[in-house]
């Protein structure tokens, strides 16, 4: 399951980079640039959530090892 989390993190990172190329720094919240900003925020949320899942998986494994 750990590899699924890492692959999702890699896909979210690729999505973040792709959407960063769509930004127009003069008009961030207009047109295609707005979609890019929203998608970048969503990709960052996915990375954070997957990091939380990885940490919780490690905690679970340590807890089961102690029992």
Question: Where in the chain are the domains?
Answer: 2-66
Q: Minimum mean pLDDT among 12-16, 22-26, 41-45: which range?
A: 22-26
The alpha carbon of residue 47 and the mean position of all alpha carbons in its chain are separated, in whole angstroms, by: 2
Q: What is the mean pLDDT of residues 35-58?
A: 97
Residue 55 confidence (pLDDT): 96
Q: What is the mean pLDDT of residues 23-47?
A: 94
What SS3 class is residue 29?
coil
- Residue 33, token pair as written in the block: 């640039």
């Amino acid at each position: 399951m750990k590899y699924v989390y890492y692959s999702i993190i890699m896909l979210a990172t690729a999505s973040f980079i792709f959407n960063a190329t769509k930004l127009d720094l003069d008009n961030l919240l207009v047109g295609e640039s707005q979609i890019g900003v929203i998608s970048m925020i969503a990709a960052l949320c996915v990375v954070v959530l997957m990091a939380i899942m990885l940490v919780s998986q490690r905690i679970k494994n340590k807890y089961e090892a102690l029992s």
